[in-house]
Every structure is written in C-alpha cells, then in structure tokens.
C-alpha cells in the first residue's frame, strides 16, 4: 500500500500559531440560564443579582409583569410582581449576547504541554496537542460579585495564572496544517 503523500512534519511553533489563531476565532459564550427569564422583583436569589448586572450592562432588557397565582388548596390568589428579562436587540454586535449566551471573552494559547507526531487515520494526517489556554477580552460584567457563583467565569478571570487545559487536534489537508474541530475519525 502506498500513499501519494509522505508523512508531513509539524513543529511546535507551527502548531502554536494554528492553535492560537483558532482559539481567537471562537467567542466564549456563557449560558447561565435560559432567556427569557421571569423572576420576582423582590427576589434575593443569585439569578436575580446576575440578571440585574446583565441588564445594567445593556445585555438584557426587562419588562415589568404582573401574574395572578392561585394558592394551592385555597380559594385565595396572590399577585406576583415580576421582571421578565429578554435579550436586548443589538444590531451589529451579535457577539455580545444572543440565544447562545453572553459573550465574555476569547481564548489565547499559553503553552503546548504535549504535541504528538503526525499520524495517519484513513487518508488524512492528524496531530494531537495537549494545551494550556487563558481568556482575554474579559467583559466588565464578569468581575461583578454576583458572578462569583459562576465557576466558568470566575476561573476565566484567573486563567492567566491558572490556565485551562484541553486536548485539540490538527489536520493536514491541501498541503497545510489546520485546526480540526472535534476528534479525528476512528478515535
């Protein structure tokens, strides 16, 4: 069995450039809760504090709503005064907030801990890298005390000193290496 291409080489420097560029192109979105979200105006719940901050940063809009709630096993009713939060209509700045969550930054490569030699699966070459990365362009709202409960956001703030780690893959096609989303076939 002979292959038209020989095993390509991949240096750590080449891999670092490709991985860093790929991380920069992937906006990080925080999905703390489903929007629209209704909550009592007087609520002291942690979600109420987070929603308030997102509203103050103009990532959400809110409307006052009144609900009549029947009290179980009684003929009585009570009135609930709520805020109903929904996404702000932000034309041209879709990376800030959308149905996929709230933009809070993007990744940058800190270090390649391990880089495999290129290996063949099917008719394509792949390389696997175990990397450390951190978050930059962290949005102002992330640092609010209300978000201390959100581990991903809290960790993002300290990620330069305590980087995240993950495994990523590169694929060789069209005579060049590129970032591969997912796992190579057959793994």
- Distance between CA 35 and CA 24 in Å, rounded? 26
pLDDT exceeds cutoff 90 at 55: yes
Asked if 134 and 168 sit in the same domain, the reply is yes
* Structural domain contains residue 170: yes
Using DSSP's 3-state secondary structure scheme, residue 71 falls into coil
Last residue of a domain, one of 64, 99, 134: 99
- Distance between CA 166 and CA 159 in Å, rounded? 13
- What contacts 125, CB < 8 A, 6 or more positions away? 5, 7, 8, 118, 119, 171, 172
Asked if 108 and 174 sit in the same domain, the reply is yes
Cβ-based neighbour number of residue 10 at 10 Å = 20
Determine contact, residues 101/26, Cβ cutoff 8 Å. no
pLDDT reported for residue 116 = 96
pLDDT reported for residue 97 = 66
Look up the domain containing 119 and give its range: 1-28+104-178
| The model's pTM | 0.84
* Structural domain contains residue 3: yes
* Structural domain contains residue 185: no
Which of 6-15, 87-96, 101-110 is predicted least confidently?
Answer: 87-96
Asked if 55 and 108 sit in the same domain, the reply is no
User: Which is more confidently placed, 18 or 2?
Assistant: 18
Last residue of a domain, one of 99, 127, 153: 99
Instruction: Report the number of distinct structural domains present in the chain.
Output: 2
Confidence class of residue 2 from pLDDT cuts 50, 70 and 90?
A: very low
């Amino acid at each position: 069995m002979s292959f038209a291409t020989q095993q390509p080489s991949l240096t750590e420097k080449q891999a670092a450039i490709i991985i860093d560029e790929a991380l920069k192109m992937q906006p990080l979105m925080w999905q703390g809760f489903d929007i629209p979200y209704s909550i009592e105006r007087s609520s002291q719940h942690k979600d109420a504090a987070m929603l308030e901050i997102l509203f103050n940063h103009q990532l959400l809009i809110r409307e006052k709503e009144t609900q009549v709630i029947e009290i179980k096993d009684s003929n009585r009713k009570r009135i609930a005064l709520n805020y109903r939060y929904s996404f702000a209509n932000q034309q041209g700045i879709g990376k800030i907030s959308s149905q996929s969550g709230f933009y809070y930054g993007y990744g940058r490569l800190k270090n390649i801990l391990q880089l495999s030699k290129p290996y063949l699966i099917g008719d394509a070459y792949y390389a696997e890298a175990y990397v450390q990365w951190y978050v930059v362009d962290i949005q102002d709202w992330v640092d609010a005390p209300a978000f201390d409960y959100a581990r991903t956001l809290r960790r993002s703030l300290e990620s330069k000193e305590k980087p995240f780690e993950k495994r990523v893959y590169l694929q060789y096609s069209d005579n060049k290496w590129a970032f591969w989303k997912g796992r190579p076939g057959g793994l």
